Amino acid sequence: MSNYRRHYVPGGTWFFTVNLQNRQSDLLTRHIDSLRAATAAVKRAKPFTINAWVILPEHMHCIWTLPEGDSDFSARWRDIKKTFSRNIDMRHIWQPRFWEHTVRNEEDYRRHVDYIYINPVKHGYVSKVSDWPFSTFHRDVREELYPVDWAGEIEDFAAGERK
């Protein structure tokens, strides 16, 4: 049995990867409204900041920052998964765990946001980041944090293959 430990930092910022069990599924994008509703409900009950998020058909990547003094991202993921599953009336759809990385500094943060936004291109779903509808990239374009034609450099994300 593994001795898996999470890195909890009150008020911290984390990068997450969350997968469905069936990596050929399209549940997350097919039921995007249910996923959004589940996330909104959990966010109301247990606030957190969504720094960046991309939802692909069978997995998602995001960065969250929790409120000062709060480090319980695990409960939030448990509740999002449970609420989404209930909303679509399906069980046993998620991989049991999720992958998290504590964001260490501004460079680490920027690298992970870029990784999130380039992910639909990397997986071949679209040829331009701006063409993927299920991403906070569009919010960041409106806020002038990214240009609409931003493409990133796929070579820069070779280290992200493990994510």
Model pLDDT for residues 19-56, shown as the tens digit of each residue: 999 999 999 999 999 999 999 999 999 999 999 999 99
pLDDT of residue 154: 53
Distance, in Å, from the CA atom of 17 to the CA atom of 44, rounded to the nearest integer, reads 22
pLDDT of residue 1: 46
Percent of the chain with pLDDT over 90: 87
Beta strands in 5-71 (DSSP E): 13-19, 49-55, 59-65
pLDDT of residue 151: 86
Task: Name residues of the chain where pLDDT drops below 50.
Answer: 1, 156-163
pLDDT of residue 163: 38
